[in-house]
């Protein structure tokens, strides 16, 4: 345990010391009793970003509660220290420590990172270094903890495969329990590290990279994966929780002492998505659709509000409006919130007439603004990406909302999508102009209206129909940013913002990287890269230098156009969605043909070969 007086000396010198103190409401601190071995498996949940971001991640709350409910297991938390705290820790030789017991992370049995975004990879290395844990898995011995990883990024685990002992692919609720139970059996048995890895490699959803070799041709293309251990499967199929109601979900989440990104109670109402947008990785890897029963949602919501004191409740999903009983659920949750003097937040709504009515009832006179995500400026391009929203949908919703008193709208678009032309960019401008005109028609002289156009850059992600497309060049992204900026600059009450080109490029490189790119990640970290998802910390030149040092061309990842028969770095992972389906969707995109949502007609993605889809209720238009 870190000496508390030494820790106190550090905390008075840094910003937001509550990031590192622990002891929050509903946090768990288990007693060790007479011996430290009472809890035989110590699992540290590691979030590779600051406390404020990590504590807003629902997955942390779920895993923390479920692991601490397993006898003999203790789950603690650790986050990436901010730069001021890291500096003081290194100066004073204080290792990275857990929030609950202030124990060095190196004393854990398993350190589990969640990889939510590629630009967090250097933070993983930095946290391992601060912990005194060897960065490369091959350099660890019996004295070191196992280093694990989960989250959406592990659907291409290869860039981080040199640093991670084992990956957990897919839903973690059941899989994590099985992993820690295997560890409880293994610990004290006298068997080596490899025996534990072999035992968990047989679990569905576990990928042990050391149990596979990758062969490359002279051009650096992958020829094949070869197993080096009989316990490893040919491909690793993702793990799926089939029944959300049976899965553990926290009724009392940890309440931070300081403001975080999301300060509110949260209930996940369903997992998966029926829409099938061709650029969207989450819509593919989180299949099949599984709903939590309304009664259970209300029970969890009521408990969380009572046990946390939050004054806001948010329901979580990829597309809230697609919950089969959304109208009745929202009505009941509004009653629950009123009983607990709390507000209800509904993200990811389709702005149809029902949604507008609900928002009117929820927000009343607090018109905070509404958000649309058309993604593309023209119907042609929305057909290409399979985004089922029309211009009529957009303008009808704006008319209805403005009549009810909303005058602030935000639109999310993506540029660099396959087949995009300047005509599609003009469509973005047209939507901004028409929206401003509608608001001007309904607006009284008092008050202000605003239309925000927010643009992100297309990143081709693994396990999507667009995984075979290259990313646009950096110069093309820059040209399109300036094209839109020039067209929108003279529009009254229209604001334009866009995502950084260089960070999107590195995101694409890492998203599509293979095992060799781990060398570049290591070199980037050695050159000082960390908190790469933060604009003020991101250093593009260091990343380019890192790839040069690793002898790799980043363009060969970001701007690659592989063929359908090529072996992709992430082919070792079975997401449940077949390559045949992804190819079919890719071909349909080139013809501008849409695929109906899953409740209208099964698209034959392959997920039902192993898992059941909860698509029995309701017609979805």
Name every residue whose Cβ is closer than 8 Å to that of residue 456 and which is 6 or more positions away in sequence.
412, 413, 414, 415, 498, 499, 504
Question: Each residue of 296-307: pLDDT tens digit?
Answer: 999 999 999 999
- Within a domain: 546: no
Which of 160, 186, 220 marks a domain boundary? Answer: 220
Tell me which of 566 and 403 has the higher pLDDT: 566
Is residue 21 scored above 50 in pLDDT?
yes
Residue 401 has pLDDT above 60, yes or no: yes
pLDDT in tens, 522-541: 999 999 999 999 999 999 99
The SS3 of residue 266 is: strand
Could you tell me if residue 22 is inside a domain?
A: yes
- CB half-sphere exposure, 129, CA atoms < 13 A: 15
pLDDT, position 527? 98
Q: What is the pLDDT of residue 542?
A: 98
Give the mean model confidence (pLDDT) for residues 275-298: 97
- Cα 297 from Cα 182, distance rounded (Å): 32
Residue range 34-62: mean pLDDT, rounded: 87
Task: Please state the rounded mean pLDDT for residues 457-482.
Answer: 98
Res 616: pLDDT: 56
Q: How confident is the model at residue 363, as a pLDDT?
A: 66
Examine residue 52 and state whether it is found in any structural domain, yes or no: yes
Res 316: pLDDT: 92
Per-residue pLDDT of 329-351, as tens digits, reads: 998 999 999 999 998 888 877 76
User: Can you give the pLDDT at residue 444?
Assistant: 59
- pLDDT for 172: 96
Q: Is residue 214 predicted with pLDDT exceeding 80?
A: yes
373 domain-assigned: yes
Residue 618 has pLDDT above 50, yes or no: no
Q: What is the 3-state secondary structure (H, E, C) of 550-609?
A: CCCCCHHHHCCCCCCCCCCHHHHEECCCCHHHHHHHHHHHHHCCCCCCCCCCCCCCCHHH
pTM score, whole prediction = 0.95
- CATH code of the domain in which 433 resides: 3.30.750
- Out of 159, 188, 220, a domain closes at 220
- The 8-class DSSP code of residue 36 comes to T
Q: By percentage, how much of the chain surpasses pLDDT 70?
A: 95
Tokens of 32: 């060790």
pLDDT at 620 over 50: no
Span 322-333, average pLDDT = 91
In three state form, how does the secondary structure of 323-374 look?
CCCHHHHHHHHHHHHHHCCCEEECCCCCCCHHHHHHHHHHHCCCCCCEEEEE
* Total number of domains in the chain: 2
Q: Is residue 26 assigned to a domain?
A: yes
pLDDT at 239: 98
Domain housing 369: 364-459+470-509
pLDDT of residue 39: 57
Query: What are 98-133's pLDDT values in tens digits?
Result: 999 999 999 999 999 999 999 999 999 999 999 999
Q: Residue 181 maps to which CATH number? A: 3.40.50.280
> Considering only 37-41, 466-470, 524-528, which range has the smallest mean pLDDT?
37-41
413 in Cβ contact with 374 (< 8 Å): yes
Domain contains 313: no
DSSP output for 157-206: -GGGTTT-SEEE-B--HHHHHHHHHHHHHHTTS---HHHHHHHHHTSTTE
Q: Are β-strands 212-216 and 222-227 bridged in parallel, bridged antiparallel, or unpaired?
A: antiparallel
Averaged pLDDT of the chain: 93
Q: What percentage of the chain carries pLDDT values higher than 90?
A: 84
Please identify, among 494, 509, 524, the residue that sits at the C-terminal boundary of a domain: 509
- Rounded CA-CA distance 336/310 in Å is 13
Residue 125: inside a domain: yes
CA dist 88 and 393 (Å) reads: 54
Q: Please give the pLDDT value at position 617.
A: 44
Average pLDDT over every residue of 176-182: 97
Phi, psi of 86 (to 5 degrees): -60, -45
Higher pLDDT, 204 or 331: 204
Residue 236 lies in a domain: no
């Amino acid at each position: 345990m870190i000496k508390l007086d030494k820790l106190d000396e550090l905390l008075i010198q840094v910003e937001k010391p509550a990031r590192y103190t622990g002891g929050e409401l509903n946090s768990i601190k288990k007693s060790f009793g007479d011996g430290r071995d009472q809890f035989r498996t110590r699992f540290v949940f590691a979030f590779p970003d600051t406390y404020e971001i990590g504590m807003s991640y629902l997955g942390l709350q779920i895993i923390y509660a479920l692991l601490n409910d397993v006898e003999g297991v203790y789950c603690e938390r650790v986050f990436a220290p901010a730069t001021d705290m890291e500096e003081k820790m290194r100066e004073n030789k204080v290792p990275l420590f857990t929030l609950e017991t202030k124990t060095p992370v190196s004393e854990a049995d398993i350190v589990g990172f969640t990889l939510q975004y590629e630009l967090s990879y250097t933070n993983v290395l930095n946290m391992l270094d601060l912990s005194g844990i060897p960065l490369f898995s091959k350099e660890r011995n019996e004295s070191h903890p196992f280093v694990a990883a989960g989250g959406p990024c592990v659907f291409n685990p290869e860039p981080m495969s040199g640093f991670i002992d084992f990956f957990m692919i897919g839903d973690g609720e059941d899989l994590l329990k099985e992993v820690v139970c295997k560890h409880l059996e293994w610990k004290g048995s006298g068997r080596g590290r490899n025996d534990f890895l072999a035992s968990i490699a047989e679990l569905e959803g576990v990928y042990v990279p050391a149990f596979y070799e990758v062969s490359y041709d002279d051009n650096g293309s992958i020829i094949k994966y070869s197993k080096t251990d009989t316990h490893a499967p040919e491909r690793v199929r993702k793990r799926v929780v089939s029944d959300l109601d049976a899965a553990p979900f926290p009724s009392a989440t940890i309440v931070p002492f300081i403001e975080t990104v999301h300060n509110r109670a949260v209930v996940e109402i369903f997992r998966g998505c029926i829409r099938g947008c061709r650029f969207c990785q989450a819509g593919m890897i989180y299949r099949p659709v599984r709903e939590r029963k309304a009664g259970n949602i209300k029970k969890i919501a009521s408990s969380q509000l009572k046990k946390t004191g939050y004054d806001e409740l948010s329901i979580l999903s990829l597309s809230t409006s697609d919950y089969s009983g959304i109208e009745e659920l929202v009505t009941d949750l509004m009653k629950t919130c009123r009983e607990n003097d709390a507000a209800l937040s509904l993200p990811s709504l389709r702005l149809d007439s029902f949604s507008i009515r609900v928002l009117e009832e929820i927000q009343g006179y607090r018109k905070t603004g509404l958000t649309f995500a058309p993604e593309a400026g023209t119907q042609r391009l929305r057909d290409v990406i399979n985004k089922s929203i029309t211009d009529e949908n957009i303008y009808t919703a704006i008319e209805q909302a403005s009549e009810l008193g909303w005058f602030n709208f935000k639109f999310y678009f993506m540029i660099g999508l396959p087949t995009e032309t300047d005509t599609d960019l003009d469509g973005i401008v047209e939507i901004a102009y028409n929206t401003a005109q509608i608001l001007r028609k309904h607006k009284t002289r008092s008050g202000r209206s605003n239309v925000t156009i927010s643009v992100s850059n297309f990143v081709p992600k693994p396990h999507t129909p667009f995984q075979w497309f290259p990313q646009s060049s950096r110069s093309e992204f820059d040209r399109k940013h300036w094209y839109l900026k020039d067209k929108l600059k003279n529009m009254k009450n229209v604001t334009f913002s866009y995502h950084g080109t260089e960070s999107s490029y590195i995101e694409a490189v890492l998203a599509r990287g293979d095992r060799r790119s781990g060398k570049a990640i290591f070199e980037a970290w050695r050159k000082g890269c960390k908190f790469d998802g933060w604009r003020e910390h991101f250093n593009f030149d260091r990343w380019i230098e890192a790839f040069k040092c690793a002898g790799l061309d980043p363009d060969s990842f970001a701007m690659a156009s592989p063929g359908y028969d090529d072996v992709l770095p992430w082919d070792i992972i079975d997401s449940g969605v077949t390559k045949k389906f992804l190819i079919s969707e890719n071909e349909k995109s080139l013809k501008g043909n849409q695929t109906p949502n899953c409740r209208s007609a099964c698209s034959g993605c392959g997920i039902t070969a192993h898992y059941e889809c909860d698509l029995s209720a309701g017609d979805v238009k």
